[in-house]
Amino acid sequence: MKIGMVSKFGAPDGLCIRVGAVLKGLVDHGQEVHALTQSQVV
């Protein structure tokens, strides 16, 4: 499964929060997740 997400805002919006919850669920179930980000805190 591939999930793409682009946020133009500095703060997480609703979509970012929802996708974050989905990704956490995938990781918790042993799925491999790759993240490409410009964030310094991820």
| pLDDT score recorded for residue 7 | 60
| pLDDT score recorded for residue 23 | 80
pLDDT in tens, 1-42: 555 555 655 655 666 667 778 888 888 988 887 777 777 776
**Residue 41 DSSP symbol:** -
| pLDDT score recorded for residue 31 | 84
Give the domain ranges of the chain. Answer: 3-37
Q: Count the Cβ atoms, other than its own, within 10 Å of residue 16.
A: 14
